[in-house]
Amino acid sequence: MDKTVLIVDDEPNILILMEQALEKLEDDYNVELLRAKNGVEALEIVKAEKPDLIFLDVMMPKMSGLEVCRAVKQEFAYPNIYIIMLTAKGQEFDKQSGIAVGADLYMTKPFRPREVLAKSKEVLGLD
């Protein structure tokens, strides 16, 4: 069964960085990388694809990462989708909010690509 990772961020350069960090998953493990530029788009993809892992930006237009996380975990009731919230450094209150809506982990930007790749492999059960 192939794995799927969804990257959600409204910053094009962050999307590119994340894709570069995770392209080894595509090449070596046949993991499909999906991307969304906002929360509304992200939820459409989640409903259609049910990704195994979501990297989710907290601050986005239209719908925040927290709202997306709440929808995935509580409204859609997909407890098996692992959600990693991406947040700017020092937004401690966000961390509490994220945990409250069901986020599994927090990573602060700027993130280290190697860390993103290692965590993704761990969550997806690769290696």
pTM for the full model? 0.94
Enumerate the domain spans of the chain: 4-124
What is the rounded average pLDDT of the residues 36-43? 97
Q: Are 37 and 43 in contact (CB under 8 A)?
A: no
Q: Which range has the top average pLDDT, 30-39, 54-63, 92-101?
A: 30-39
CATH of domain 4-124: 3.40.50.2300
- Residues with Cβ within 8 Å of 97's Cβ and at least 6 positions away in sequence, in order, are 66
Say whether pLDDT at 34 is over 70: yes
Average pLDDT, the chain: 92
CB count, 10 Å around CB of 79?
11
- Which stretches of the chain are DSSP H helices? 12-29, 39-49, 65-70, 92-101, 113-124
Per residue in 49-79, pLDDT tens?
Answer: 999 999 999 989 889 999 999 999 999 999 8
Tokens coding 41: 């788009």
